[in-house]
Amino acid sequence: MFGFTRRQALTLALALLPLTVPLHGQVTPPASQPRADDEGSTTNRTVFPASLAGRWQSAPFELALTSDFHISVYGSGARSVRSVTMTLEPSGKGAFRVTSHVRDRRGRVVPGTQEIQEVRFEVGDLVEEPGRQPHYTSRVAHAERRFADEPASASPRDGVKLAIYVLDRPGTLEVRFDTPEGTGSFWETLRRGTGAKPGA
């Protein structure tokens, strides 16, 4: 396997997964008092709507792994699977989790590929910028990445960013997750999950 150990090969293969998915949607921001900054954007100093509190989740996103390298590591017919959950409190504090793994051609999870990224954050201001949809920024308090089968593998994810877009479809949010290196950044649509609080 190109001289790599199994862990090195699995880690490299995960890093090479093309998980960027463009999504589009319209955003209807709440009424608030705008403040223009020096770059032409407008920041609305609003209180985060408590109606958005609750648990949000994505549908699993699956991607066939067909490159020669991925086939050499996982075999033919393997697929990467990514799921996202987000919990928002009425105060605006939240927890964002990305869970990903690889399944072989028989649908079995490949050992060593279950990766978890967790972000603890607080929702920031509503920002409107020319050419971009209005969105809530976030202030990240803590972010880390680890392999599920190796708790000691946890490492900080400094520099990650999370933006929340409130769509005009009730019960739906869109999030943008960005990593400092760019690899692994993605858009995702979230819907209210089981046990979510009513109000949206």
- Hey, where are the domains in the chain? 6-192
Residue 11 contacts by C-beta under 8 Å, 6 or more apart in sequence? none
Global pTM reads: 0.76
Residue type, 16: L
Task: For residues 23 and 155, give the distance between their C-alpha atoms in angstroms, rounded to a whole number.
Answer: 29
pLDDT value of position 93: 95
Q: Per-10-residue mean pLDDT for the chain, 200 residues long?
A: 52 52 37 45 63 94 96 96 96 96 96 96 89 87 94 92 89 94 93 58
Residue 160: CB atoms within 10 A of its CB come to 21
Backbone torsions φ then ψ of 190, nearest 5 degrees? -115, 145
Residue 167 contacts residue 26 (beta carbons within 8 Å): yes
Backbone torsions φ then ψ of 58, nearest 5 degrees? -100, 165
pLDDT value of position 40: 54
Residue 1 contacts by C-beta under 8 Å, 6 or more apart in sequence? 9, 72, 73
pLDDT value of position 34: 43
Tell me the CB-side half-sphere exposure of residue 123, using CA atoms within 13 A. 26
- Pick from 40, 83, 30, 34: which is nearest to 61 by CA? 83
Residue 4: CB atoms within 10 A of its CB come to 14
User: Judging by DSSP bridges, how do beta strands 115-128 and 135-147 pair with one another?
Assistant: antiparallel
Task: For residues 36 and 129, give the distance between their C-alpha atoms in angstroms, rounded to a whole number.
Answer: 10
Backbone torsions φ then ψ of 113, nearest 5 degrees? -110, -5
Residue 5: CB atoms within 10 A of its CB come to 9
Please give the sequence-ordered ranges of beta strands (E in DSSP) within the chain, or none if there are none. Answer: 34-36, 42-44, 54-57, 61-64, 79-88, 93-103, 115-128, 135-147, 150-156, 161-166, 172-178, 186-192
pLDDT value of position 128: 83
